[in-house]
Amino acid sequence: MIFRRFWLPTALLALTVSSLPSIAASAAPRPSDTAWSVQRDADVLRDTGVTGVAVRLETPRGTVTARSGVADLVTRRPVPEDGHLRLGSTTKTFVATVLLQLVGEKRISLDQTVEELLPGVVSGAGNDGRTITLRHLLQHTSGLPEYISDVFPDPSAQTYLANRWRAYAPEELVGLAMRHEPAFPAGTGWAYSNTNYVLAGMITEKVTGRTWEQQVHDRVLRPLGLRQTSTPGTWPFLPRPHAADYQQFTAGGPLVDTTIPYRPFDSGADGSMTGTARDLNRFFAALAGGELLKPAELAAMRGTVQVPPDSGHPEGTRDGLGLFLTPLSCGGGYLGHGGNGFGYEIRAATTTDGRRTVTVSAHSRSADPRVAARQEDAVRTLIDHALCRDN
């Protein structure tokens, strides 16, 4: 997975191979070409080995949904329609939106340094908060090291099962990251680091006196009526209905039910939110359509830098502030973000005008990197087809 960037070993980045029955798309008896294409592409993604797939596409002509595979390997029930999902790093777009609203209110500046905002927090091993701005954090150009390998040093089912209930305070996670040297001086490169958004959450609370979760609820979820989206923190259980998530930790090994998240990196501003595809599409359409940010701040969010070709993103991808711009085969590009954790992957994408929005969720991952490549190609193709069709 390329968006929820916790840089686990390659063995954890793929999807497991299995042969599972298709679940019919929730489309009319005589579906449109778009509905047919979405279901076909969902089945292709399932055929890469995903236990369960769900897609929701919103267009000016209506909604198309598709489901494929099964919700769990025990009952083999259908994948739920508009089930609850772990949003993973898609959380970052919500956090960036809140901070840009604060920028628009003149309560904070994108050019303020981390040292000004959180004195003494970013230091050690060559890390220097005096040289890193809020813009650097939101755009992953800070060079700050990642904390993930510190909380998951051994990629095994045993480590997951032993440590999944442990939670860290944001300050602890930043402290772990500060033991490592930066990847580059701030502003001179690009590297995805969850540490950036742990700090963004801390800055939100420092500036407003309220947690990032409270700010997301008040500034985004409530105004848009996103009642199925939440910030559960360390609460480990998804609301029903939802599909089960499965992680294969070693190639050829068993699938482990990982529906309970790994809380050391699934409980903060970098990736803890849950929601539904319906809510997620509404959020990205509203964001792209200018409902959440003033023009100047929306333009700042869309101000992008090139993502390196070896980062795992499609060629030509650019990163804004909590929002990626990815090329489309039909011209232009789409805005979006995705996320993943053990056993799940989610991708949300919208055309730049917010008129076509799609969310794709996959509910298993395997230890075979070759399958990861096939799965990634299938997801990219699905999104490209969904956003490029004219009906």
- C-alpha 352/C-alpha 19 separation (Å) is 36
Residue 384 lies in a domain: yes
**CA gyration radius, the chain:** 20
Domain count, the chain: 1
**Cross-strand partners of 366:** 14
Residue 1 lies in a domain: no
Residue 234 lies in a domain: yes
CATH number of the domain enclosing 144: 3.40.710.10
Residue 260 lies in a domain: yes
- C-alpha 189/C-alpha 334 separation (Å) is 23
pLDDT per position in the chain (391 positions), as tens?
A: 333 333 333 333 333 333 333 333 333 333 467 888 999 999 999 999 999 999 999 999 999 999 999 999 999 999 999 999 999 999 999 999 999 999 999 999 999 999 999 999 999 999 999 999 999 999 999 999 999 999 999 989 999 999 999 999 999 999 999 999 999 999 999 999 999 999 999 999 999 999 999 999 999 999 999 999 999 998 999 999 999 999 999 988 999 999 999 999 989 999 999 999 999 999 999 999 999 999 999 999 999 999 999 898 999 999 999 999 999 999 999 999 999 999 999 999 999 999 999 999 999 998 899 988 899 899 999 999 999 976 5
Residue 4 lies in a domain: no
Residue 330, exposed/middle/buried by CB under 10 A (0-12, 13-18, 19+)? Answer: exposed
Residue 3 lies in a domain: no
Residue 220 lies in a domain: yes
Q: Which of 18, 89, 142, 361 is catalytic?
A: 89
Residue 321 lies in a domain: yes
- C-alpha 203/C-alpha 110 separation (Å) is 12
Which residues, 6+ apart, have CB-to-CB distance to 285 below 8 Å?
Answer: 58, 350, 354, 355, 357
Reply yes or no on whether 89 is catalytic: yes
pTM to 2 decimal places: 0.92
Structural domain of 30: 10-388
